[in-house]
Chain A
Amino acid sequence: MKKLTVFRHGLWLLLLLAGLAGCVEPYAPEVINAPPNLLVVEGFINADGPTSIRLSRTITLAQTTLPPPETNAQLAVEVQNGPSYPLRETAPGTYTGAPLSLPAGSLCRLRISTAKGQQYASDFVPVKRTPPIDELQWKAQESGFNFYLSTQDPTGNSQFYRWEYDETWEIIPTYQPNIGYYDTGVGTGKIDTIRSRPYPYPFRCWVSEQSNKVVVSRTSGLSQDQVRDFRLRVLPLNSERLFSRYSLRVRQQVLTREEYDYWQLLAKNTENIGSLFDAQPSQLTGNVRSLDEAGGQQALGFVGAHSVSEKRIFVDRTDLPAGSNPLTGYESCSPLTLLNLVEPFPPPPPEEKAQTLYGAFHDGSFVPIFEVAKGVEFASRDCVDCRTRGTTVRPDFW
């Protein structure tokens, strides 16, 4: 994308040279201001477990809020020439059904009836059985800390794979101050030893992150349905996520070719579009269609039907190769900043000192860490309190 920026800058330069004022105006054609309010369907029919579907709506480009959930809809998984299994709204816009066990190869679809009575259904898709993940391993290599996945399907029916992963890692703050700030009155405060028990700052937190990348691969065209050492995730060798303990969980899904194509296109779309020098984006909708006669709005999303297989691995600090030196994640916290309480000379009176401390620490965004001769060394709360980054609740798998 660098070259594109070059061009855009070049244009400005040109305008300047020519002594012209090129003008930029907001551009918002009708279709952007009042876009169709389309139904968005996320999720899949779980062939071997509970199905969970999220419904929402598209929002205008200018909107900054999260898309509104689509509530009070009626959803059901329908098996062709077979039974229908209703889903229940368990949270606004999230619909969950009872665990199912659908035979591979049977055709099924998702039926949606919105609160306003609009009818949608996904195309009938064959149920796919996802084979287990054979191996999930990591290697510290020159290119980074790579996670490789291997799987296979001896029946050769899988071919199209998609992976989602989530990561969890432990963080340990570098500072555990034994002093704290306490209000002494209106507009005044003091520094004192922390005496409260339990100690107010956690020693350890856990952060979790869901991948937002679409990771897909296919084996069609290969003589065997085997994915070997597929590089799923790369971390920098000194990633702070590896500082204490790191865990990666992969959810593997087998797709139909159509669903695979859908995800691949979704992955390729960029946000920079429209100018003369930007790449063409692709438009994609998925397999959910309106059943209403004439004028039915399209829906976005692809509902496939498959089971999921999962694998989790841990990387302990002690597992890392010798010489590894991951970042702590608190590099930006040092050196500490000094709050000078003795200058200018002669030192300010105690009342003023109390007011200064109040001003600095009362709102809690900064915390004192050490008392030194000249005053107080402090850092932002984030350097001490890992709850700003994660949770103190130990994950059950940890």
Chain B
Amino acid sequence: MKHLYSFLLLLSVLLLIGPRGYGQQQPGAKTVTGNFTRVPFGQFVRELETQTDYRFYYDNTAPPDSFRVSLEARELPLATVLRRVFEGTAYRFALTPDGRAFITSEVSIEPELSRLFFRPAGTLSEGPVAAAPEDLTPTAAPTRSRYVTVAEYKVYEIGTGGGSGPVTLAGHIRDVKSGEPVIGATIYSENPSVGTSTDQFGFYSLTLPAGRYTLQIRSVGSKNTRRQVILRGSGRLEIEVEEDVTTLKEVVIEGEKDKNISSTQMGLEKLDIKTIKQVPTAFGEADILRVVLTLPGVKSVGEGSTGLNVRGGATDQNLILFNDMTVYNPSHLFGFFSAFNPDMLQGVELYKSAMPAKYGGRLSSVLDITTREGNKKKFSGAGGIGPLTSRLTLEGPIIKEKSSFLVGARASYSDWLLKRLSDSKFRQSSAGFSDFSAHLSHQFSDRDAVYATGYYSTDRFRLASDTTYRYANKSASLKWRHNFSNQLYGVLTGAFSHYDYDITSEDNEVNSSRLQYSINQTSLRADFSYYPNPKHSLDFGVSSLLYNVSPGSLKPLKDGSLVVPNILDREQAVESAVYVSDKIDVNQRLSVSVGLRYSLYNALGARTVNEYAPGESRSENTLIGTQYYGPGKVLATYHGPEYRASARYSLSDNSSVKLSYNRTRQYISQLTNTASVSPADTWKLADNNIRPQVGDQVSVGYYRNFKSNTIETSVETYYKSLRDFVDYKGGAVLLLNRTIETDIINAEGKAYGVEVLVRKLTGKVNGWVSYTYSRSLVRANAGTPADQINNGRYYASNFDKPHDATLVGNYRFSRRFSTSLNFNYSTGRPITLPIAKYYAGNSLRVFYSDRNAYRVPDYMRMDLAFNIEGNHKVQKLAHSSVTLGIYNLTGRQNPYSIYFKSENGQIKGYKLSIFGRPIPTATYNFKF
């Protein structure tokens, strides 16, 4: 009877009109007679209540009194009368044998409990028990929107039939206000413990035995909610959740609650845009890549570089995806800004190990940046004004609830500033960048949705009317998502990415020239997710990528130019892959994920390929000939399996151990022989002379949460080996080099490290502390001494910084004032130093140390920021916030660059610090 009681109480809450004078009545006369003409519904009900013994229960807004009834009835059964009355309306009714009539909107309630409901305990979940009476008081959540409150207490009946076999519940989790999908939300039943999380479309699919459950829904940045369902068969349940407006920080992390322990995924770092926005930056604007750099295991060579070195991998070994489009240069202004508008973004996921089989093509990591979907319910916008840039984002529905747009633009006003400077050299200069992105989504039906994204970013510099330097990313993607059934859905994605740069020199007519480089990447992929039963979730798919590179051209610019045109052959290649992976929940404690990806790479003509004497170090002198391959002819083929495996074993409720192994293959390398990534670096495809890179990584981690999941700790260690990654001979020339392979060495590398992370999740003080010890070593010992570096011994890579400690802390004084502190320490990067001079071969020579034998001074920086929010009235025209920050609080002069110049016969060393003193910033952000 307890169940019944709970249920009734629940209904009473739902119906709001309490059970008036509810008592045990004998169901008596059940027919209705009368002539009703435009009778208000309330009056009609009173008439029915007098004519029959039924008591009516309904929410008096549905149907409202404005709903008028016109009906002629003669001894009609009540059910027939109601059916006629509600025909063609959204109202449903239900009658109980004990004389009650329930009228609801949209969903009819099942007054009789499912047969399954009364099964003996043990064969079915204990779900309903969870709905203990004290939990049901609606006043328990006074801030909740009515919709969500109602939804939480409503019992959804899914499917038909009374089978007891497994059924699949699927649907989307969306934000109630904007209609945007909530990505990475977890939905789970506590008993039996079955759960899943939503994918990038907010889609989930959960397979459970038929029965009644309370599903808990948690996600980053949203309030926790739950849904009560009775599963009779497979069906859909769309869930809307509320954004957590006031207690951002707490909830940001609450969403991650126990995820680090329960998921099989390891080496994954998720950052929500709200977290990103809290971290202070040099120019005041939230910068996604800067925040990624504070994560354990992620480093860069220098302060002004957004080139990521993930777990000892090179900067070209990261697959940077922006809504599935590859971005080749994710930065503005030589790497000081990341090229993504923070207001457009949903968040970012960084896979450092256990890369899902879906991803491939890069060795070290996947950085998956996703935009929001755009508000489907109302028009809104956001923006910000900072010291160097401003940005604006607009979003809104195109067709309400079905399609939405999201567009954002960002531009610098440095050009404007330059024009106002007194120095004519600067007035002739210009520097500027901008980016623009747009995202459209349309939901055709429950089954089909289409998403389109466009992205454009550009940088332009001109220095004292001499050389103009420009680069741009252009990409677009179109995605079609189709649900075949609750258990199977597929996504077809077509994407195009383009990156190019040019350097134009115009200072005099004779030398005027333009150097250009470009890469195009066109891809088509189909990905499927299949959830056959609660124990398995399968992902499989195919993809194919076409690269088209023009490796460089130098052309005269003006008529009088004497520059001899030099145009390198285009390079083309196709990279294809198939993959399948399965996540298997073996039992409560053990969960395993296994995957295989097989990739095939074909370098294609038309192209002339250099051939070198076998067994010799490649150089101009060992070039024995060239071979021409016609258009579409395969000139080199590489292929191989990529294994992906990971496992999680729960030691207890709040601790687990995880293990993973993955192999990755990379067919395209970035050519950069400078320590930092420079925008003029080029990407080179594997061919006859340059082999693809292969990497293996094993990692083990221990995860433990304390204080009911409010403090997360983890220790991850990894060992990584890399084969055939690109290193350079001394003095390599990479631009316009027709025999580029003579300057390149296929080196091998190894990297290992331990990453320790402690995160405090909630409370006034929150944030994380991490410490990483890691090494990244390279060896080039193949071939002749000319091909060896440091006599073939292992040496520290450019980004080998063994010790790295980071603190990101937030303290919330009140809902409106908060402060963030950021501290970072790392060992200085390795450097090759000139040590002495000597005379040899009729010339003064410089004697250099072994490569990377020394280190620049250690790096240390502390930043502080204050966030002041406007008042928190939910209903107002615009919400604004101000961020005040001080970057490099201690004013430490961290080396940005160390360089040597020859001056009057002396070679002198200099250290350049860019942010050598505290830098105050202020940014104004608004949202409407």
Interface on A for B, CB 8 Å cutoff? 2-4, 6-7, 9-11, 13-29, 31-32, 35-36, 38, 40, 42, 56-64, 66-67, 164, 210-212, 214, 217-222, 257-258, 261-266, 268-283, 300-301
Contacts and interface: CB of A to CB of B under 8 A. Distances in A.
B898 A58 contact: no
Contacts of A263: 841
Contact of B893 (A10, A23, A66, A279): A23
A271 B824 CA distance: 33
Nearest to B788: A261
Given A22-B916, A281-B832, 11 more contacts: A3-B735, A6-B467, A17-B417, A60-B837, A218-B621, A268-B729, A268-B731, A273-B834, A273-B900, A275-B899, A283-B848
Nearest to A285: B847
B896 A280 contact: no
Contact of A13 (B463, B676, B837, B842): B463
Contacts of B843: 212
B619 interface: yes
B833 A29 contact: yes
Given A9-B463, A59-B837, A272 B622 contact: no
A281 B917 contact: no
Contacts of A11: 304, 334, 896-897, 912, 914
A221 B850 contact: no
Interface in B613-634: 613, 616-617, 619, 621-622, 624
A276 to B, nearest CB: 4
B837 A276 contact: no
Interface string B894-911: 011111111011111111
B913 interface: yes
Interface in B743-794: 784-786, 789-790
Nearest to B414: A17
Contact of B897 (A35, A42, A275): A275
Contact of B835 (A32, A214, A269): A32
A265 B464 CA distance: 36
A281 to B, nearest CB: 5
B913 A23 contact: yes
A271 B833 contact: no
A300 B730 contact: no
A10 B836 contact: no
Interface in B443-501: 461, 463-464, 467, 469
A26 B910 contact: yes
Contacts of A40: 838-840
Interface string B292-309: 000000000110110000
B85 interface: no
B139 interface: no
B914 A22 contact: yes
A269 B503 CA distance: 25
A26 B901 CA distance: 11
A271 B731 CA distance: 10
Contact of A221 (B283, B305, B612): B612
Top 4 closest A-B pairs, CB basis?
A282-B730, A221-B613, A268-B731, A275-B899
A336 B459 CA distance: 50
Contact of A271 (B429, B896, B907): B907
B907 A42 contact: no
Max chain B Cβ within 10 angstroms of own Cβ: one of A15, A21, A275 = A275
A221 B831 contact: no
Contact of B616 (A26, A211, A221): A221
8 contacts: A4-B674, A6-B467, A10-B334, A24-B911, A26-B910, A35-B847, A266-B841, A271-B834
Interface of B: 282-283, 301-302, 304-305, 333-334, 336, 387-388, 414, 417-418, 421, 426, 429, 431, 461, 463-464, 467, 469, 503, 505, 612-613, 616-617, 619, 621-622, 624, 673-676, 678, 680, 728-732, 735, 784-786, 789-790, 831-843, 845-851, 853-854, 893, 895-902, 904-917, 919
A63 B674 contact: no
Contact of A300 (B680, B840, B917): B840
Contacts of A280: 673, 675, 728, 730-732, 832, 851
A14 to B, nearest CB: 6
Contacts of B848: 269, 273, 281-283
Contact of A257 (B388, B784, B839, B893): B784
A266 B914 contact: no
A282 B780 CA distance: 13
A66 B839 contact: yes
A270 to B, nearest CB: 6
Contact of A261 (B469, B612, B786): B786
Contacts of B673: 279-280
B899 A274 contact: yes
A274 B831 contact: yes
B841 A214 contact: yes
Contacts of B916: 20-23
A22 B836 contact: no
A15 B896 contact: no
Contacts of A272: 899-901
Contact of A3 (B503, B785, B832, B898): B503
A38 B612 CA distance: 38
A258 B624 CA distance: 21
A25 B913 contact: yes
B841 A2 contact: no
Nearest to A161: B621
B471 to A, nearest CB: 12
A257 B732 CA distance: 20
A3 B734 CA distance: 12
Contact of A278 (B674, B784, B893, B909): B674
A18 B388 contact: yes
A268 B846 CA distance: 11
A217 B621 contact: yes
Max chain A Cβ within 10 angstroms of own Cβ: one of B282, B417, B467, B914 = B914
A345 B93 CA distance: 123
A356 to B, nearest CB: 35
Contact of B915 (A22, A220, A301): A22
Given A67-B837, A279-B728, A20 B914 contact: yes
A264 B831 CA distance: 23
B380 to A, nearest CB: 31
A56 B847 CA distance: 14
Contact of A279 (B282, B674, B834): B674
A9 B22 CA distance: 85
A21 B917 contact: yes
